Structure 1
């Protein structure tokens, strides 16, 4: 069994039954492998959770890289909307909720710092870029807890408004 399949089984277990059900034995059962097979890839529950967090960060980095927009903030906005539209944000909520300690969330904290600093100095209007990135965080958070809140039309309108903010001339200093 591959590492990714074990992470999938752990995420599915979290989504279906919550963090109290996340044990190495339960993940192995869900994945259809022996506990030893799971331990080969993840020696502890903490390593498994950290692996899920790292995979979520990597997937979002890939979404950002896949965007064709010229600025990092525009790519970040496009990636955020792609994640929201995918309907898979619940994974983020359950994985980060299951972590339970700062050590396990270290990869996410590091990624958040990177995402919110990346290229900010090269943006035409760094303040507008920061506002858009923070709006993305709010959209992400709300969508992970209430996925049906925004229709596709709502998302298109939000995207249009946020992209317009990025295109507006920066106010004089």
Structure 2
């Protein structure tokens, strides 16, 4: 059993049943492995949650790698839409799992701070960029709870509208 499959099982359990259901035994059962097999990769519930937080941050950082000429906010929008389209909306599950432990939440909070402050002063319109980044957060949060809310056409229209906000000519 690979580490990612165990993290997937933990995230699915959190999404389906909430944080009280997140036990090592329940994750092992969900993943179809022995508890010892799970403990080989994650020696505690905290280590499991830490692994989920680290993977979420790493995955989103990978999505942020953009094309030359894109602003950070354009990359942030595209990364958010890629996360929503993929259906791997782990942020809610990870936060739910780590919510009782500020130590476990700290890396995610630091990443969120970095993601929302990165390059903001270099944007043509920092206020519009902040609005787009906050809209991305709202989209991700809503999609976490209702993945079927937005069709592909909806996402394309949202992307076009939010990209338009980032253009200097869109400023009032």
* Structure 2 residues without counterparts, runs of 5 or longer: none
CA distance in 2, matches of 1:142, 1:50: 24
Counterpart of 2:85 in structure 1 is 85
Superposition misfits of 4+ residues, deviation over 6 angstroms: none
Counterpart of 2:96 in structure 1 is 97
Aligned pairs for 1:55-66 (under 5 A) are: 55-65=55-65
Equivalent pair of 2:28/2:38 in contact (CA under 8 Å): yes
**What is the SS of the residue equivalent to 2:166?**
helix
CA distance in 1, matches of 2:112, 2:30: 31
Deviation at 1:170, TM superposition (A): 7.7
CA distance in 2, matches of 1:149, 1:29: 31
* Structure 1 residues without counterparts, runs of 5 or longer: none
Output the TM-score relative to the length of structure 2: 0.88
**What is the SS of the residue equivalent to 1:83?**
helix
Deviation at 1:14, TM superposition (A): 2.3
Deviation at 1:168, TM superposition (A): 2.5
Equivalent pair of 2:14/2:21 in contact (CA under 8 Å): yes
**What is the SS of the residue equivalent to 1:129?**
helix
Equivalent pair of 1:28/1:38 in contact (CA under 8 Å): yes
Residues 107-151 of structure 1 show CA distances to partners (whole Å, capped at 9, x for unaligned) of: 110110010111112212212111111111111111111222222
Distance change (3 Å), C-alpha of 1:70 and 1:44 = same
CA distance in 1, matches of 2:88, 2:130: 25
CA distance in 2, matches of 1:112, 1:50: 16
Distance change (3 Å), C-alpha of 1:11 and 1:82 = same
Deviation at 1:23, TM superposition (A): 0.9
Tell me the number of residue pairs that the alignment of Structure 1 and Structure 2 aligns.
170
Deviation at 1:26, TM superposition (A): 1.9
Counterpart of 1:25 in structure 2 is 25
Distance change (3 Å), C-alpha of 1:74 and 1:17 = same
Kindly report the root-mean-square deviation, in angstroms, between the aligned alpha carbons of the 2 structures: 2.0
